[in-house]
Amino acid sequence: MSFNLILLGPPGAGKGTQAKLLIERYHIPQISTGDILRSAVKEQSRSGIKAKEYMDRGALVPDDLVIEIIRERLTLPDTATGFILDGFPRTVAQADALASMLEGNGKSIDHVISITVDNEELIQRVIGRLTCRSCGQGYHLVFDPPVVSGVCNLCGSELYQRDDDKEETMRARLLTYESQTAPLIEYYGSIGLLRPVDGVGSIQDINGSLAKVLEG
């Protein structure tokens, strides 16, 4: 099965977790602007240095920077048979830019799945979140701890807490989501693409709900 999908939802809704399961199921790539920006920050590239100051305070990186990242990424051949956008678009300007770049390539978005979770649950999820430095696998201190504390089950590398997963920054990210990203629910709803999915429950059950939407 092949499709171009947007996963929409606040930080901590499970977009990244679900995207990883969808890759296994449908063999199409996940494109996470958050992951791409974090690698740029690690490499201390020019865009990484610029992005870091916004990311550290829970704000959005300027549209032109992320739009360029996506424009380049969508030219790679692995996107020819579909892709999963995770964390992009996050503003109406990004959504407009995406629509015109896809149109230019004779493509379009097939589904926008909006994963919904209430704010208090999002905060509990995110402040306990741990990420592997090497392979990016996610864990949670309480809900999904690694077998050995601080060590990735899959590759044995060190786990860390993202700077922007601290409670204060997370609250700022939720406000950013409400003001700048939530309008995309209306945006995609009005063109008939939006499919809401309840993001509370087991990871496998939520994945089943996503598959149901995708397989119609």
Catalytic residues: 15, 90, 129, 162, 173
Residue 174 CB, shortest distance to ligand AMP, in Å, is 10
Q: Smaller CB distance to ligand AMP: residue 37 or 74?
A: 37
Q: Smaller CB distance to ligand AMP: residue 62 or 216?
A: 62
Q: Smaller CB distance to ligand AMP: residue 59 or 185?
A: 59
Distance CA 199, CA 203 (A): 9
Residue 137 CB, shortest distance to ligand AMP, in Å, is 14
Residue 215 CB, shortest distance to ligand AMP, in Å, is 26
Residue 216 CB, shortest distance to ligand AMP, in Å, is 27
Residues that bind ligand AMP (CB under 6 A): 11, 33-34, 37, 54-55, 58-61, 66, 87-88, 90, 94, 164, 173
Q: Smaller CB distance to ligand AMP: residue 23 or 148?
A: 23
Which residue lies nearest ligand AMP, judged by its C-beta?
34
Q: How far is residue 27 from each of residues 39, 59, 81, 84, measured CA to CA in Å? A: 23, 32, 9, 10
